[in-house]
Amino acid sequence: MKRLLVLLLALNIPTAFASGVDSTRHFEAIDTLKKSNSRLWIPSMVTGLNVSQIAFSNWTQGGSNALTWTITADVGLDYRTDSWTLRNKLKLAYGRTRLGSQQYMTNDNELFQESVVSYGIGWATDPYISNSIRTTITRGYSYKTNPPVLIADFFDPGYVTQSLGFTYNKLKFMSTRLGLAVQEVFANKYRQYTDNLSTTNTVEPFKLETGFESVSQGKVQIAENILLTSGLRLFTRFESLNVWDVRWDNVLAARVNSFVNVNFNFLLVYQKDQSLTTQMKEGLQLGLVYTVL
C-alpha cells in the first residue's frame, strides 16, 4: 500500500517590544512617553523564525523533499533628551535551504548595525555623527557552480562607514540626513573588494574611501493594520561622483487579526565593486504574531 506524507509548515513568530504597545503604534507611544519624561530610553525588538517544509513518500506526481528556515532579528535602542538623540539599530538575518538529498544552502546571511547621534540646535536641521557596519554573519557561497564557491565570510568583506553632517527629523513618519562620509573596507581572502587597481604588484586587504552619504528612513501607517517601513542609503566617492552605491530596504507588514500577519520584504542593492548589475531580494511570509508587553 502506497503511503503519502506531505507536511507543509509556514511559521513566522515575530515578537515586538515597543514601549508596551502594538509595534504599528510605536511612534504614538514615543510621543506620549516624551511628554512625561525629558530623558527616555526607547527599546524595540522584532524577531522572526520562518520554516517551510514538504516531504514525500511513494508520491507518484513528482516532487522533492524540501526544508527552508530563516531567523531574523531587528533590534533598536534609542535615547532621547531635550537636546540629544541617540539611535541604535541592529539587523540580523540568517537562513538555510535543503532540497532533496542536496547539501544545505545559505539563503540569507546579513549583519547591519548603525548608531546615530544628533543634537538639537533650534535650526530646521540638526548636526549629527554616525557609524555603521555591514557584513555577513558567516560564510556565504555562490551556488551557480558545482561544487559551490565560497565568496564571502564574516568581515570578509566588511564595510564600516562614519559620516558627519546635518539631519532633518522633524516629521513623525520620516527622517533624512546628508553628510561627509569616510568608508573603510576590510577583507582577508576576498580582496577584490579592497584591491587598488593602480598598484599592480600588491593586492591590498584594506581600502579607504571618502565621499558623501545620504540616508532616508520612513514609517507610514497606511491603514490601521498595515505598516510600511522604508530605508534608502546612498554613498558616492569624491573621485567618482557619478557612481552611487544604493541600498533600498522595504517592509510591508499587514496584520490580518490579533494572531496572523503578512510581511513582504523587498531589498534592492547596487554596488559597482560587488556586481555591475542590480541585486534584488524579496520575501513573502504568512504566519503568527505575538507581542511582548
Boundaries of every domain in the chain: 11-291
pLDDT confidence bin for 106, thresholds 50/70/90: very high
Most confident of 32-46, 52-66, 135-149: 135-149
Give the pTM. Answer: 0.81
pLDDT confidence bin for 264, thresholds 50/70/90: confident
pLDDT more than 90, % of the chain:
51
Please report, for residues 29, 97, 190, 213, 223, the alpha-carbon distance to residue 216 in angstroms, rounded to integers and kept in the order given: 22, 33, 30, 10, 22
Q: Is the CATH number of domain 11-291 3.30.70?
A: no
pLDDT by residue (tens digit) across 205-228?
A: 999 999 999 999 999 999 888 889
